[in-house]
A = this chain, B = another copy of it.
């Protein structure tokens, strides 16, 4: 289920020779995540990761240009575990994905790594492309799937113009992901069911709806 990842790290030249150890790859990525938990982003060193993974430091540098790229690959695997639960309505679909995303951001390795690599990427264009390809763009599937389902149910109108539809999907993605990240990491307050419900209410009905009369505590 988490296959097809090796495409992120292809040797520069293809030829016969000793193949790269796939066990080393998984051991390194797992060691990276564990080091993130124990040390956090800044105190994480590649030498330490190599020791934890049981490989030589030089092996790390043969496969990844540096710390940022390694961490991106290590956390990207976690994001692929997100899935859209078909809960029957657009509102509960959004709530479900928000809570899943929040749970992911609650893990210490994700928490400390995500913002750090994004910060790095503001002065490192190749890294930014790697983040988009490995994490951001892959998760837009959730927005597209949720909209398609909602349209099938008749909860959302069809958007005939594909360009406009794409812009809308990007907008929704930035709003949902951005709000959850900001709530969890900047405001550092819990993303619980209560918050998810009010947030979903805002996204669906707009500001006047949420400011006037929010959904009751037991809204279906």
Cα A157 to Cα B213 with chains together (Å): 9
Question: What residues on B are CB-neighbors of A114 within 8 Å?
Answer: 119
Q: Does B188 lie within 8 Å of A183, measured CB to CB?
A: no
Q: What is the total number of copies of this protein in its complex? A: 2
Q: Please give the distance in Å from A127's CB to the nearest CB on chain B.
A: 11
Minimum Cβ distance to chain B for residue A119 (Å): 4
Give the residue name and chain of the B residue nearest to A175 (CB). Answer: B179
- Please indicate the chain B residues that have their CB under 8 angstroms from the CB of A175 in the complex: 175, 178-179, 182, 199, 202
* Closest B residue, CB atoms, query A156: B211
Kindly state whether residue A116 has any CB partner on chain B within 8 Å. Answer: yes
A144 within 8 A of B: no
- The CA of A189 and the CA of B171, in the complex, are separated in Å by 11
**Once the chains bind, are B211 and A157 in contact (CB under 8 Å)?**
yes
Residues in B whose Cβ lies below 8 Å from that of A178: 175, 177-183, 186
Chain B residues with CB under 8 A of A207: 90, 156, 172, 203-204
- Interface residue from B113, B174, B189 paired with A187 (Cβ < 8 Å): B174
Cβ of A154 to closest chain B Cβ, rounded Å = 11
A204 touches B206 (CB 8 A): yes
Asked if A55 is at the interface (CB within 8 A of a chain B CB), the reply is no
Binding site for B on A (CB under 8 A): 40-42, 90, 108, 111-116, 118-123, 128, 131-132, 136, 147, 155-157, 159, 164, 167-168, 170-175, 177-183, 185-189, 195, 198-199, 202-212, 214
Additional A-B contacts beyond A112-B119, A157-B212 (11; CB < 8 A): A111-B122, A112-B123, A113-B119, A131-B186, A136-B187, A170-B189, A171-B195, A174-B179, A175-B179, A203-B206, A203-B207
